[in-house]
């Protein structure tokens, strides 16, 4: 039953869910719909809940089954992991003790009981557990950093630093060791040594926000104002307007001397777990990242960066409902509150709660009328809901906040161009698409949209087809762009090329109703009527929009009318005029 906490650790039965009640309660309530289940039914339902990453439900169900068979090691293991990944560390800690009775080498259980001991200031016990929780590059580093913070808690900061420094490993260990050595030495008032370690971490990665914060804060106290501001300003050039950096830069400008980034062994350990969790979560280690982030929040529940990283992890796992619960825990006084509100709105929209999403964004914009990110998020929701006039107006407000657009702003004009085109304002749409290409030449999405629009309208046919082909060359596996090329050939009356490209598009996006519909039309034009009916039927099965569904029913009943498309006629006229 020993777990491997390697970089790619796959935690058996790990499923993701979190709500405030689940995080705080000793055990989650039994979901009403499962209360009548038999023991076997509860076990199967728990397995299913785990597979769907609904860990709060899985934990409740596994616990029900475990009470009937408390010595079942596999069942105990699953229950423990479900509570852990749900963020209920108190209950997970109790179960971890039982897991270790069955297998004293279980590394995840050792990590959990060690973190609990550190939180309770039982530093010696914590170190013993951390020493038995290692196996692999990430977990070795985690154990060294946590051991270092427990040694600082025991009053021996230099032994803490020595312990971290003795750990050999990959080059990327260095920035973590330097940063945490700096934090420990800073708290121990060893100013000179702390400064050297901060500086080393900063030089290794001046784009790491927590390193910038730690070093900038140190310089505000022991360096000089201009040096501290330069650290913040250089970061701001790379990633403008980060809320934490902007807040600290303003404070330093006002002459404030900022405290260290952490103020206790518990906060330091939380920072270590957060930084590792956030890092590996971006590199495919979702299960281990989840454990580290939940443990970080157990040690420091108000750690806003950990909250945002956990919510981001849930979003990457396509669990917007769980992300919302995390964003809701960010304090309204936090500089990251605005970011949480914007992200929460996007998640609400994914759950078809657009009214709630819009209300939140309206409030952010009311408080900050020139908030570009909030305006873009609102425009995206309106565009997704086909409120094209409204989204055009919203994107205009966002564009007005950028006095000198550069390459990074191309998408604002692209999105506004879509809204203009869909609301029958083609001249404005065309101008925006051209502006987007001026900012980002050969951007494939813009090439595709503008090129197809020209072909569809029967204008600039050669240039339009060249644009679409260029987009396909850049993204040959993008089903939507390949569909555009096929459909452009269809609109020009070149049905053989249309079929070839649309068949490829369906291979790339087999469940898209529009692409299947297009292929059905192309089959019909080349006389493959049975296959056309099949594709139209497929398109119906993939839940098209209501207006498209009506058109599909008409095609299935009567086939296609004769081709009278303006683009096809324009192509024929051009060919005749050229003497071809």
Out of 1.25.40.10, 1.10.10.1200, 3.40.50.620, 3.90.1170.10, select the CATH number for domain 461-577.
1.25.40.10
Give the pLDDT score at 38: 86
Residues 451-472 have a mean pLDDT of 95
* Res. 26 pLDDT band, cuts 50 70 90: very low
Q: Of 482, 480, 463, which Cα lies nearest the Cα of 472?
A: 482
Residues 484-490 have a mean pLDDT of 96
Q: Of 461, 455, 404, 395, which Cα lies nearest the Cα of 428?
A: 395
HSE at residue 54, side-chain half, CA atoms within 13 A, is 14
CATH class of 1-133: mainly alpha
Q: What is the dihedral of CA 134, 140, 144, 145, to 10 degrees?
A: -110
Residues 473-477 have a mean pLDDT of 97
Residue 117 pLDDT > 60, yes or no?
yes
Give the pLDDT score at 327: 97
Q: Of 122, 129, 75, 120, which Cα lies nearest the Cα of 102?
A: 75
Q: Of 539, 440, 431, which Cα lies nearest the Cα of 483?
A: 539
* pLDDT-wise least confident of 140-154, 280-294, 353-367, 520-534: 280-294
Instruction: Give span(s): CATH 1.25.40.10, the chain.
Output: 1-133, 461-577
Residues 6+ apart with CB under 8 A from 511: 542
pTM of the model: 0.85
């Amino acid at each position: 039953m020993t777990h491997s906490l390697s970089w790619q650790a796959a935690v058996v039965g790990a499923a993701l869910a979190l709500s405030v009640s689940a995080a705080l309660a000793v055990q989650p309530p039994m979901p009403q719909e499962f209360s009548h289940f038999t023991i076997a039914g509860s076990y199967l339902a728990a397995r299913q809940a785990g597979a769907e990453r609904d860990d709060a439900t899985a934990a409740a169900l596994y616990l029900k089954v475990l009470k009937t068979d408390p010595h079942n090691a596999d069942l105990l293991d699953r229950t423990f992991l479900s509570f852990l990944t749900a963020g209920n560390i108190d209950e997970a800690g109790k179960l971890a003790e039982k897991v270790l009775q069955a297998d004293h080498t279980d590394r995840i259980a050792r990590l959990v009981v060690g973190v609990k001991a550190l939180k309770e200031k039982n530093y010696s016990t914590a170190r013993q557990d951390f020493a038995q929780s290692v196996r692999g590059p990430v977990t070795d580093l985690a154990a060294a950093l946590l051991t270092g913070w427990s040694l600082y808690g025991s009053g021996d900061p230099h032994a803490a630093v020595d312990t971290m420094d003795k750990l050999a490993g990959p080059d990327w260990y260095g920035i973590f060791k330097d940063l945490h050595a700096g934090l420990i030495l800073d708290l121990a008032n060893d100013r000179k040594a702390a400064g050297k370690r901060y500086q080393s971490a900063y030089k290794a990665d001046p784009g790491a926000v927590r390193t910038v914060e730690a070093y900038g804060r140190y310089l505000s106290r022991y360096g000089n104002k201009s040096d501290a501001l330069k650290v913040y300003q250089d970061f701001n050039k790379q990633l403008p307007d980060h809320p934490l950096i902007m807040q600290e830069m303003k404070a330093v400008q006002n002459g404030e001397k900022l405290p260290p980034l952490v103020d206790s062994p518990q906060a330091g350990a939380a920072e270590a777990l957060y930084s590792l969790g956030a890092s590996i979560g971006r590199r495919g280690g979702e299960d281990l990242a989840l454990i580290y982030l939940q443990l970080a929040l157990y040690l420091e529940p108000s750690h806003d960066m950990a909250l945002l990283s956990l919510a981001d992890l849930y979003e990457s796992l396509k669990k917007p409902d769980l992300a919302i619960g995390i964003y809701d825990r960010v304090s309204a006084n936090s500089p990251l509150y605005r970011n949480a509100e914007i992200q929460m709105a996007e998640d609400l929209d994914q759950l078809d709660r657009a009214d709630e999403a819009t209300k939140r964004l309206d409030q952010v914009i009311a408080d900050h009328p020139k908030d570009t990110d909030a305006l873009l998020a609102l425009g995206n929701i309106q565009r997704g809901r086909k409120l094209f006039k409204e989204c055009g107006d919203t994107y205009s407000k966002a564009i007005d906040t950028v006095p000198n657009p550069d390459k990074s702003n191309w998408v604002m004009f692209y999105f506004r161009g879509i809204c203009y085109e869909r609301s029958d304002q083609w001249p404005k749409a065309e101008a925006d698409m051209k502006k987007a290409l001026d900012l980002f030449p050969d951007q494939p999405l813009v090439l595709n949209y503008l090129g197809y629009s020209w072909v569809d309208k029967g204008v600039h046919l050669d240039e339009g087809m060249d644009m679409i082909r260029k987009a396909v060359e850049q993204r040959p596996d993008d089903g939507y762009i390949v569909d555009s090329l096929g459909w452009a050939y269809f609109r020009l009356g070149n049905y053989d090329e249309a079929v070839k490209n649309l068949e490829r598009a369906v291979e790339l996006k087999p469940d898209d109703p529009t692409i299947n519909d297009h292929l059905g039309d192309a089959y019909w034009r080349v006389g493959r009527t049975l296959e056309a009916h099949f594709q139209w039927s497929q398109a119906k099965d993939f839940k098209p929009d209501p207006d498209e569904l009506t058109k599909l029913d008409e095609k299935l009943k009567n086939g296609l009318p004769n081709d009278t498309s303006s683009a096809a006629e324009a192509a024929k006229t051009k060919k005749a005029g050229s003497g071809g």
